[in-house]
A and B are shown apart, each in its own frame.
Chain A
Amino acid sequence: MKEEEIIKKWLDNETLSGEELQFLQENEAFKDYQKIAENATYFKAPQIDIHNGLKSVVEKTREKKSKKVWINQLTRIAAILVIAIGSYFLFFHSTQTQVDTLANVTKQINLPDDSEVTLNAGSSISYNKDTWTGNREVHLDGEAFFKVAKGKKFTVITSLGEVSVLGTQFNVKQRNNSIYVDCYEGLVEVKINNKRIKLPAGKSIAFRNKQLNEYENTANASTWLQGKSTFKSVPLREVFKEFERQYDIKIQAKNLTLNQDKLFTGSFTHKNIETAIKSITLPFGLDYSIQEDEIIVSARE
């Protein structure tokens, strides 16, 4: 035991006491050990060049790095392409169906559950075919008449608010900053600014300039379906806008300010432009002249 301790000490190149040295000298194996220890240096590992070694590692890493960056860029571009194409198919192709109407056109659309939508001129509607049975949601920009088949909740989403129903006939009109909802059958729930309003048959609601008005609707269905636009206390500017949509023509106001207090109640036909413009301008005492692609409305002198 003692021998082992001392040899270990000797192996670690520690200074030994005279007594310990004496002990080793007397040990017969120690001579062999000494020779072995001495000759071990023959097997020394070759020297390596630290400076050049480091240089070559750095060079190698540079090569790999630049290669990697290049591949990285490629993968990034590929990923973006995949996402772009993927989202194109996701949002525009497979699931979302969009129907638009140009000015001067109305369209009849059958939704997947046989609900009917009639889209007025210059409007667009979109819905998701795939999730339709569980989620009857329609995004509307413009005006449309809905005849909803009985079933789960049916929701029309516009930028101003939501209209939801169970099964009924109703009209939603959202133009710029105003929304009009007319209910003709059943019960409609309108949600505007987080306020919920229940609209029974025969009632209409108007949200204009942040003001909410309820009123009775006189006709038994939206008049535009019969080729007529009907208004109740609607600013003249909006009436002209609707006119422009229906006839695909510009209306220019000459020496005339179309401010909010000029309200129009009445209707204009979609079938005769002359009759139509007359029915708007006459009550206000305005003059009009029909040009090729515009109508100039001016105050009567």
Chain B
Amino acid sequence: MTKNLQDHVCEESVFARLYEKHAKNIHDFLYYKFGELLQPEDKMQEAFVKLWQNCKKVPPSKAKSFLFTVANNLMLNEVKHQKVVLKYEKRKTQHQDHQDPQFLLEEQEYLKKYQKALASLTESQRVAFLLNRTEGKKHKEIAEILNISQKAVEKRIYGALKKIRKEIKGI
């Protein structure tokens, strides 16, 4: 604790550690929440610049929530409730030989539906679900990143899963 107090965000080593620890999480958080159209990476970078400018006022223990709040606000300043569209990558599969055109077409259809389903989720559902499923984060880690309880994380992910299924199935 005492060491924490002496640690100063203004110190470059401390700042670099914070960057290494949080940069990816913030970026992913912004990306899954708002989509890629609004340059989540730029916003994340800007949040760190802001942190540096305020390094005397923000103790290291508060740096994470400062960064998330600033990044989120930067996004909100631009976002006007645009529809979030997440890009899906072209898969470079090893099993390509075994896939017939019919299958590929079906898969394309499926991903399109999936994309729409993701867009229909709430922001909090989408963030929790994708952090879990694509970043492979445990519920506990997500709870820490988002500053919510583990129960809430579970609820969001489960809710997202059910909703995506419904959307894809068209139920």
Contacts and interface: CB of A to CB of B under 8 A. Distances in A.
Interface of A: 4, 7-8, 11-13, 29, 32-33, 35-37, 39-46, 48, 50, 53-54, 56-58, 60-61, 64-65, 68
27 contacts: A7-B158, A8-B154, A11-B133, A13-B138, A32-B165, A33-B165, A35-B110, A37-B161, A42-B88, A42-B114, A43-B86, A44-B130, A44-B134, A45-B28, A45-B130, A46-B31, A46-B36, A50-B19, A54-B16, A54-B20, A57-B19, A57-B48, A57-B52, A58-B12, A61-B49, A65-B53, A68-B53
Contacts of A57: 19, 45, 48-49, 52
Contact of A43 (B20, B48, B130): B130
A7 B114 contact: no
Contacts of B139: 11-12
Nearest to A61: B52
Contacts, number: 106
Nearest to A59: B49
Contact of B158 (A11, A48, A56, A58): A11
Given A45-B134, A54-B16, A36 B23 contact: no
A32 B15 CA distance: 44
B111 A42 contact: yes
B164 to A, nearest CB: 5
A4 B162 CA distance: 10
A3 to B, nearest CB: 10
B118 A39 contact: no
B42 to A, nearest CB: 10
